[in-house]
């Protein structure tokens, strides 16, 4: 990581004034170049379907809102949010569902109720399928989300 030298210079333990060296200047120029050469966001076309790609990693939810343009997804907006404390305490399957719900809500400022397809991890897709009453054998899974949720969020049998 070229920008690691910049991060190290701004840590809490470092002095208040930064002593620039050639490596830091080069890293700063590289960061500026990467920011300026990033792909531009497209404008929404309300005749096309929106696609929301959601990921939940640790305490963060991130999403990219896109539309298909010449057979490739073109980004319309990027979203990220730190998950609320109550969501952080949930099991991974429910965290993924909550992250998707939060990102869908954020995307509505652009989507405005137009058709949107959610692309997310199996945890969201699997839980949605189970909630819709699909048969277990019709859902491709790595683990059973409902068993995981029940075992971690139910009252112990000996305490009921």
pTM: 0.61
Burial of residue 116 (number of CB atoms within 10 Å: 0-12, 13-18, 19+): middle
- Is the pLDDT at 52 greater than 80? The verdict is yes
User: Which pLDDT tens digit goes with each residue over 70-112?
Assistant: 888 899 999 999 999 998 888 877 888 899 999 999 999 999 9
Contact 16, 31 (CB under 8 A): no
| Higher per-residue confidence, 35 vs 89 | 89
Q: Are residues 105 and 72 both part of a single domain? A: yes
Q: Is residue 44 part of a domain?
A: no
CB proximity list for 102: less than 8 A, separation 6 or greater = 61, 81, 83, 87
- Looking at the structure of the chain, the number of domains it has is 2
The pLDDT value recorded for residue 64 is 93
What integer is the mean pLDDT of 57-69?
91
The pLDDT value recorded for residue 10 is 78
User: Which pLDDT tens digit goes with each residue over 111-157?
Assistant: 999 999 998 875 555 555 666 666 655 655 556 667 767 766 666 66
Q: Is residue 25 part of a domain?
A: yes
CATH assignment at residue 135:
3.10.20.370
Alpha helices (runs of H) in the chain, residue ranges in sequence order: 4-9, 22-36, 85-88, 92-111, 122-131, 145-153
Give the residue numbers spanning the domain of 27.
4-36
Question: Which residue in 117, 32, 5, 106 sits closest to 62, CA to CA?
Answer: 106
The pLDDT value recorded for residue 51 is 95
Contact 66, 74 (CB under 8 A): yes
The pLDDT value recorded for residue 49 is 97
Q: Is residue 68 part of a domain?
A: yes
Q: Is residue 14 part of a domain?
A: yes
The pLDDT value recorded for residue 18 is 79
Tokens of 138: 């019709």
């Amino acid at each position: 990581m070229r920008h690691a030298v910049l991060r190290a210079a701004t840590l809490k333990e470092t002095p208040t004034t930064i002593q620039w060296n050639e490596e830091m200047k080069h890293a700063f120029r590289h960061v500026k170049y990467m920011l300026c050469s990033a792909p531009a966001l497209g404008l929404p076309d309300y005749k096309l379907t929106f696609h929301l790609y959601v990921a939940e990693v640790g305490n963060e939810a991130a999403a990219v809102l896109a539309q298909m343009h010449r057979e490739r997804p073109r980004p319309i907006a990027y979203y990220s949010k730190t998950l609320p404390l109550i969501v952080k305490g949930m099991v991974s399957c429910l965290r993924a569902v909550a992250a998707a719900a939060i990102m869908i809500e954020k995307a509505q400022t652009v989507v405005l109720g137009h058709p949107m397809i959610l692309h997310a991890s199996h945890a969201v897709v699997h839980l949605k399928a189970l909630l819709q009453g699909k048969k277990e054998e019709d859902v491709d899974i790595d683990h059973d989300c409902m068993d995981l949720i029940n075992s971690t969020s139910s009252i112990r049998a000996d305490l009921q």
